[in-house]
């Protein structure tokens, strides 16, 4: 059968991804729930081709990649070296860290390469989406920026790429990688309040030099609900797509904006994420879907399983009752796929959201004019 969706699933990838702090078997829960609902029957499922040294250095500095290789081989790193490269605290040095980074990055690049064959409309890697990693260092549970490496793969085929970040945290690593270029436009919807990690992503952060106006940030406050989030996403993403006219899209579906996430402060359910990806899918362009944050692991599995069903057009076939499988007991006490909204207060002001929308619309007119001018030259 000719499947139009490519899904990365690999026992070694799940093992490596599970090393990331705070995931608590999340990779296994996600993959097993997708399989329990028989969604893999509607996708082409493939294993990972790990990245090589020279592929990692397509974005990351040789000094950082050399350190990862050295600490893996010798296990004799000093505290000073750890601090220099961001390893320690939220990114501790992991056992067999070289295999870890080559699989984590290789999974997203494997999915990106599938899109470049033109055989697939969509590609999925829920073990990807590590958007905080910088060129020279690890940061925020992110050791390697698989997103940037995947985008670089896609750029060679498609040219102009739109990156959309739904994680509750600002996608700083990806934005910084492209803030001086117009080849990639980054669009991030995130919680932005004093002291909230990573403290970047103001609507005033719009890029620099050739990349001015090609970084788009939508800062949101604690407690945002589905209806408001969906509304602002549809309006802003549509304006961005119409102005930039990307040839391929990458969506980071970090699920730490779900209600009851121990790190995030939003009040979203699966419905918000599903409506966002439906909006993007209507644009009829190749899309790479990636994971990201999300630390209520059962809810993340619920969410990404439902998103997988939306992507393959099987959401109406899903039972609300979780099928019996190895991790069934993780979904108690109700054992259902649904996530109910919470009672957290919404601190978002409609006037502020409208102001943000107006600023972005104005900036996107400049982007559209720039593109039209370049095309006519």
Active site residue 190: no
Provide the mean pLDDT of the chain: 95
Residue 1 has pLDDT above 50, yes or no: no
Select 5-332+343-376's CATH number: 3.40.50.300, 3.30.2310.20, 3.40.800.20, 3.10.290.10. Answer: 3.40.800.20
> How do residues 234-259 score in pLDDT, each as one tens digit?
999 999 999 999 999 999 999 999 99
**Total length of the chain:** 377
pLDDT at residue 82, as a whole number: 60
For residue 305, give the DSSP letter.
Answer: H
> How do residues 15-44 score in pLDDT, each as one tens digit?
999 999 899 999 999 999 999 999 999 999
Give the mean pLDDT of 186-192. 98
Residue 83 has pLDDT above 70, yes or no: no
pLDDT at residue 137, as a whole number: 96
pLDDT at residue 88, as a whole number: 83
pLDDT at residue 72, as a whole number: 83
Cα distance between residue 145 and residue 131, in whole Å: 6
Give the mean pLDDT of 309-314. 97
Residue 76 has pLDDT above 80, yes or no: no
With a pLDDT cut of 70, the percent of the chain lying above it is 96
pLDDT at residue 148, as a whole number: 98
Element (H, E) at 362: helix 350-376
How does DSSP assign 33-95, residue by residue? HHHHTTGGGGSEEE---PPPHHHHTTTS-HHHHHHHHHHHHH----HHHHHHTT-BTTBPPPT
Q: Which residues contact 345 (CB under 8 A, 6 or more apart)?
A: 222, 223
3-state secondary structure of 373: helix
Handedness of CA 87, 50, 39, 230 (dihedral sign): positive
Element (H, E) at 164: strand 161-165
pLDDT at residue 132, as a whole number: 98
How does DSSP assign 190-222, residue by residue? EE--TT-TT----TT----GGGTT-EEEEEE-T
Residue 79 has pLDDT above 70, yes or no: no
The one catalytic residue in 60, 131, 132, 190 is: 132
pTM value?
Answer: 0.96
Domain range annotation of the chain: 5-332+343-376
How does DSSP assign 218-279, residue by residue? EEE-TT--HHHHHHHHHHHHHHHHHHH--SEEEEE---TTBTT-SS----B-HHHHHHHHHH
> How do residues 166-181 score in pLDDT, each as one tens digit?
999 999 999 999 999 9
Pull the structure tokens for residue 133. Answer: 């990693």
Residue 8 has pLDDT above 90, yes or no: yes
> How do residues 93-137 score in pLDDT, each as one tens digit?
999 999 999 999 999 999 999 999 999 999 999 999 999 999 999
Identify the CA nearest to 339 among candidates 251, 269, 235, 265.
269
Rounded alpha-carbon distances, angstroms, from residue 317 to 188, 314, 336: 31, 5, 14
Q: How many CA atoms lie within 13 A of 170 on its CB side?
A: 24
> Tokens 């995947």 sit at which residue?
150
Handedness of CA 372, 373, 376, 377 (dihedral sign): negative
């Amino acid at each position: 059968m000719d499947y139009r969706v490519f899904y990365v699933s690999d026992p070694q990838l799940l093992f490596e991804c599970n090393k990331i702090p705070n995931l608590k078997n999340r990779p296994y829960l996600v993959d097993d729930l997708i399989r329990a609902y028989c969604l893999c029957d509607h996708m082409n499922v493939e294993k990972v081709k790990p990245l090589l040294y020279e592929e990692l250095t397509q974005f990351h500095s040789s000094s950082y990649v050399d350190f990862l290789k050295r600490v893996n081989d010798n296990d004799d790193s000093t505290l000073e070296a750890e601090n220099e490269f961001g390893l320690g605290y939220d990114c501790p040095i992991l056992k067999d860290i070289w295999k870890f980074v080559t699989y984590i990055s290789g999974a997203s690049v494997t999915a990106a390469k599938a899109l470049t064959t033109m055989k697939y409309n969509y590609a999925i890697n829920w073990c990807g989406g590590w958007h905080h990693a910088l060129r020279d260092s690890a940061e925020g549970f992110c050791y390697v920026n698989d997103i940037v490496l995947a985008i670089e793969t896609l750029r060679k085929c498609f040219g102009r790429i739109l990156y959309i970040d739904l994680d509750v945290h600002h996608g700083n690593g990806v934005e910084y990688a492209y803030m001086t270029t117009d080849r990639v436009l980054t669009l991030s919807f995130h919680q932005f309040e004093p002291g909230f990690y990573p403290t970047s992503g103001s609507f005033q952060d719009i890029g620099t030099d050739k990349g001015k106006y090609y970084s788009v940030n939508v800062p949101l406050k604690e407690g945002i609900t589905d209806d408001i989030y969906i509304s602002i996403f549809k309006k802003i993403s549509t304006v961005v797509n119409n102005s930039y006219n990307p040839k391929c899209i990458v969506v980071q579906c970090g699920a730490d904006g779900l209600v009851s996430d121990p790190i995030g402060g939003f009040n979203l359910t699966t419905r918000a994420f599903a409506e966002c990806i439906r909006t993007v899918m209507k644009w009829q362009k190749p899309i790479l879907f990636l994971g990201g944050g999300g630390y209520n692991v059962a809810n993340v599995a619920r969410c990404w399983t439902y998103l997988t069903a939306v992507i393959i057009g099987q959401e109406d076939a899903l039972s609300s009752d979780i099928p019996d499988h190895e991790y069934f007991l993780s979904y108690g006490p109700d054992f259902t796929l649904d996530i109910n909204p919470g009672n957290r207060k919404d601190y978002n002001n409609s006037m502020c959201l409208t102001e943000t929308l107006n600023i972005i619309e104005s900036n996107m007119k400049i982007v559209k004019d720039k593109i039209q001018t370049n095309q006519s030259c």
